[in-house]
Every structure is written in C-alpha cells, then in structure tokens.
C-alpha cells in the first residue's frame, strides 16, 4: 500500500528491529570468520593434493616395476589408475568430513 504521494508506509518497529538484529548477527559472524575465502582455497588445495599424491606415487611405482619386468602388462597404467582411485576416495572423505563440520558449526543437523 502507498499513500497519496506514492510513498510506502514505514515498516513496523518490530520488523525493523528484527532486520537490524539479523544484520548485526551476520556481521558479527563474518567478523569471527574473516578468512573464509582463504579457507575455501586451502581446502581446494588439500583436496587436489590428496588426489595428485597417490596418483603420482602409483605412476612412479609402476614405472619402476615396468623397468624391472619385461612383460606385456603395464604396471604404470594399472598403478596410476589405482592411485587415482585411492586419491578420489581420500578426497571424498575430506569433503564429507568438512561438510559435516560446517553443518555442525551452523547448527544444521539435517542431512
């Protein structure tokens, strides 16, 4: 609704107080966690390394085994894929763990 000049009526005091209180709570929460962006980037790095490390270790072990054996089986490819699978499981574990921790911090107990 609006008055004759097209202006909206002022919000009730309770509604305004709730909005201001909500803004203050969000600002205080943001001040408690100022490095949220850096935390996200660090988590991406952790997940990346948790995939890359086992993959490279598997490839290196496969190259070493291929040099010592003269078979038609490629240890490099097999251990590279095994390392990749181990890394993906490891990354999945970290993502689930961090998601659970973030939900507990927010008070979200719904899955």
pLDDT confidence of residue 100: 87
**pTM for the full predicted model:** 0.58
Query: How do residues 39-64 score in pLDDT, each as one tens digit?
Result: 667 777 888 888 999 999 999 999 99
How far apart (Å, rounded) are the C-alpha atoms in residues 108 and 101? Answer: 10
pLDDT confidence of residue 33: 65
Residue 7 sits at φ, ψ, to 5 deg, of -85, 145
Query: How do residues 64-111 score in pLDDT, each as one tens digit?
Result: 999 988 778 889 999 999 999 999 999 999 888 888 887 887 776 555
Q: Flag whether pLDDT at 1 surpasses 90.
A: no
Rama region for 6: left / alpha / beta (φ>0; ψ in -120 to 50; rest): left
Query: How do residues 13-38 score in pLDDT, each as one tens digit?
Result: 667 778 888 888 877 776 666 566 66
pLDDT confidence of residue 95: 85
Stated as kind and residue range, the H or E segment containing 37 is helix 36-68
């Amino acid at each position: 609704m609006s008055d004759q000049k097209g202006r909206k009526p002022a919000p009730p005091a309770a509604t305004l107080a709730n909005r201001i209180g909500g803004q203050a709570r969000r600002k205080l929460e943001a001040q408690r966690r100022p490095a949220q962006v850096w935390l996200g980037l660090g988590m991406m790095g952790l997940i990346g390394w948790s995939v890359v490390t086992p993959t490279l270790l598997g490839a290196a072990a496969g190259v070493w085994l291929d040099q010592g054996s003269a078979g038609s089986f490629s240890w490099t490819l097999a251990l590279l894929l095994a390392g990749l699978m181990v890394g993906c499981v490891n990354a999945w574990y970290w993502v689930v763990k961090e998601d659970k921790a973030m939900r507990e911090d927010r008070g979200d107990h719904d899955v």
